[in-house]
Amino acid sequence: MDIQSDSGFVPEFSNDWALFLDVDGTLIDFAPRPDQVSVSKELLDILDDLRIQTGDAIALISGRPIHDLDQLFNPVKFPMAGQHGLERRDVNGAIHLHSMPDGEFSRVKDSIIEFAKNKDNLIIEDKQHSIAIHYRQAQEHRDELEIFLEACMKKIGMNFHLQSGKMVYEIKPHGKDKGSAIQEFIIEQPFIGRLPVFIGDDVTDEDGFEV
């Protein structure tokens, strides 16, 4: 696993770290479709070694739902935060869910899905509590997509926000992000009292870096 910094300084690994790892673009490469990625046995072995060295203080922090992450990293069930912190599984296996605001979100999701039907290669990822629109294979639709999504945002008010990432837009509720997920982990065992180290690659990871 390579760790890079703009300064060129790479800190020496410490057993006192609490490791928080982004998945897509960090642990695994992006694929044309979210369901086309895979996790190698070599990566699982590396993560298991890190888990042992840190005394189980390792968690995955991802935009993917926990269900999808479990399928990817099967048979290992790591502590993890899914959907950018909207759902979280602690080290004991308990699931913590962010309450969803009522309103227009389900109807907006339907309109986004309908919009994508008429645009070749736009990929919709309905995560139940959020929705992602991938345009990696449809970059010619990016401007039109952005205008459409901004119009959608006006329908669902201040409880949601539009987040951009690498070739993806996502609409999700306010109040939870990768940073808030890390903050919740570091007040729990075995993370408490350790130096939190978050490794990511995208603008969606910036909330985690701020922690």
Annotated catalytic sites, by residue?
22
| Maximum separation of any 2 CA atoms in the chain, in Å | 51
Burial class (CB in 10 A: 0-12, 13-18, 19+), 104: middle
Cβ atoms of 20 and 61 within 8 Å: the answer is: yes
Two structure tokens written together for 144: 């039109």
Torsion of CA 153, 98, 20, 78, to 10 degrees: -130
